[in-house]
Amino acid sequence: MNRRSLAGRLAALAAVTATLAGCASDDGAASPVSAPPGTTAQRTPDSGGTSARTPRGTLLVTDFGSDTVTFIDPAGRGEAADLGSVRVGTAPYGIALGEDGTAWVATAEGVAAVDTRTRERTALIPYRTDTGPVTTGEYRGGGMGIALSPDGSRVYVGVNVPGGKGTLEVVDTVRREVTRVVPVGRRPFDVDVSRDGRRVYATNHDSFDVSVVDTGDWTARRIEVAPYGTEGGLGSWLKPHYTAVRPSDGALLLPFEGERLAVVDPGTGRVRIEEMTANTHQHGVTAGSDGTLYVVGTGPIDPSEDDGPSLTVRSPDGDERVVPLDGPHETVALSADGRTAYVSGGFTRDGYWNGLSVVDVATGRVTRLPVGERPLAVAVLGGGRATGAG
């Protein structure tokens, strides 16, 4: 479907989706906090604790429909793949993995630190931003996108403020406390960092933009990224979701609708559009070390005209292979060798499923693996690249 002629449909879609604010139908009902705040280590009864070591290549998945992260052996089958879960805080969203084995998880309550070697939560760092009551669902307040500075000294987390603009909170990883708060746009789905650590990028879904934060003086610039325009406002489906930083030049890559790839120069703010081919609503994206782009297609806006869920594998020169997937998906992570893509089934709208699609990149073969409760972000221990994980 060509969305160049979408003006009429957008008005109708905006009316239908105004209560969804673009990408979810969760009611935001309050949920009890199952892990108390503080720095005491927490783990579920089936967690390995200090007696179990976590093997390299294990997947760590945020359970957005619960209050846990789950460790998964991707070579396992069925229940044998589940290595146990750790309670981190309500509705965990993004995850960032440090070289020291600490996983930093953005939850509705604060940023959780998890020792992935012993499978314990070692801290829960509260936000400075007032996000209201702790709730669940896509519109819940609290952390969304999250990333680490290249030297591992800081965690950057995009904090959603229901009904208002979000913030970027800066966490000192040694002191384990928030040291700075920077205003950004609305609902920061994703957070990324430049390779030299001088810039942090917050991708703001509901304000159609990316906030470029200078880590020297902590000023923020807004770059609008709206290849279809901003018609429909909060009810529009045609907004940015996740961003990949291109390894070759640091450009920001944001896919839209399996039709357009926005290529953003974060220095000048210039936005250039390239053609894509999947013809499906797109969310998660990550870039391999060679510049290959992996983009998650969640499914059609209009089933009569658009294609279904997929994974696009886009080479640096723009050639694309589209791998069909069964059911909606949200984010994608790569194995350390780049041969396998792990695509999460915890879609932020209705239709999510509790599992991962494991894609052989060379052949396109897909294996479905049961995982967690509404799995959203995926990190590969010991290497790999992820979305929703910084």
d(CA 223, CA 17): 25
Start-end of H helices in the chain: 7-17
Query: Phi and psi at residue 78, in whole multiples of 5°?
Result: 60, -135
- pLDDT per residue rounded down to tens, the chain (390 residues): 455 444 334 433 443 343 334 454 333 333 333 333 333 333 343 344 444 678 889 999 999 999 999 999 998 877 768 999 999 999 999 999 999 999 999 999 999 999 999 999 999 999 999 999 999 998 999 999 999 999 999 999 999 999 999 999 999 999 999 999 999 999 999 999 999 999 999 999 999 999 999 999 999 999 999 999 999 888 889 999 999 999 999 999 999 999 999 999 999 999 999 999 999 999 999 999 999 999 999 999 999 999 999 999 999 999 999 999 999 999 999 999 999 999 999 987 778 999 999 999 999 999 999 999 999 999 999 865 655 444
Strand ranges across the sheet with 281-287: 281-287, 293-299, 310-314, 320-324
User: CA dist 231 to 38, 160, 206, 360, Å?
Assistant: 43, 22, 12, 38
d(CA 21, CA 187): 10
Domains of the chain (ranges; CATH) run 3-386 (2.130.10.10)
Q: Contact at 8 Å (CB) between 202 and 159?
A: no
Q: Which of 233, 313, 276 is nearest to 1 (CA)?
A: 276
User: CA dist 287 to 192, 200, 296, 333, 384, Å?
Assistant: 12, 17, 12, 9, 10
Token pair, residue 310, equals 């997929």
**Max Cα distance, the chain (Å):** 60
Q: Which of 97, 99, 143 is nearest to 124 (CA)?
A: 143
